[in-house]
Structure 1
Amino acid sequence: MSDMSEAPARDPLTAGRNYRLLADIPLRLSVEVGSTSLKLAELMDLSEGSVVELDRQANELLDILVNGTLVARGEVVTVGGKFGIRVIDVVATEARLSGIERRT
């Protein structure tokens, strides 16, 4: 095969089994509310009750990251008295795979 146009078609049944091979790999899911930059002196001046302004509006969706890569955006919900995230928008596969949305 000289190019991808000659590649064999993927069998959906086999593809599902391949995903199961990866099912037990642990991943780190995190949610980013927002961020800001502070000088060390400003950080040292924080105390109980201090408010730090973030770079995101209160009505904006939160970033959902897996191993530092943005995969979706969502909103906070409560489930049985605990916080949860409702996924509202999933990032395009091409952007995820290319690492464009990677956070540091």
Structure 2
Amino acid sequence: MTQMEDNLTATAEPGGEELWKNGSPNLRLLQEIDVRLSVEVGSAQLRIRDLLNLNEGSVVELDRQAGAPLDVFANGTLIAKGEVVTVGGRFGVRVTDIVAPGERVKDI
């Protein structure tokens, strides 16, 4: 196992978060990599004919209940649940629950 793999493995263990915060040399390099963070309110499956019939004012019912936690993804991997907030006139997300690292790996 390489030094980087050792460090990454350590972060999945209890207390391993400290490696990210304190920053071993290899992990400090990773901290500068950009990731795409996205939030999913819900989804819907439509037939193409229904999609083509959408127009201004159309409503598409999503598969999630109002007030249910939102899914927060990092590069397409579910990492957390959250709720919508506004920050200076913009939408934001307040993280309410972090997905366990073992659960994140199952999605890959």
TM-score by length of 1: 0.79
CA distance in 2, matches of 1:20, 1:84: 27
Runs of 5+ consecutive residues of structure 2 not aligned to the other structure: 1-5, 11-17
CA distance in 2, matches of 1:56, 1:39: 19
Number of matched pairs: 92
Q: Which has the larger radius of gyration?
A: 1
Paired residue for 1:4? none
Paired residue for 2:14? none
Paired residue for 1:84? 92
Runs of 4+ in 1 over 4 A off after TM superposition: 12-15
Pair 1:53-2:61 in alignment: yes
Task: Report percent identity of matched pairs.
Answer: 57
The within-5 A match list for 1:9-24 is 16-17=23-24, 18-24=26-32
The within-5 A match list for 1:1-104 is 16-17=23-24, 18-96=26-104, 98=105, 100-101=106-107
Runs of 5+ consecutive residues of structure 1 not aligned to the other structure: 1-6
> How far did 1:79 drift?
0.5
AA aligned opposite 2:82: G
TM-score by length of 2: 0.76
SS of equivalent residue, structure 1 residue 36: coil
When you count helix as a share of all residues, which structure comes out higher?
Answer: 2
SS of equivalent residue, structure 1 residue 25: coil
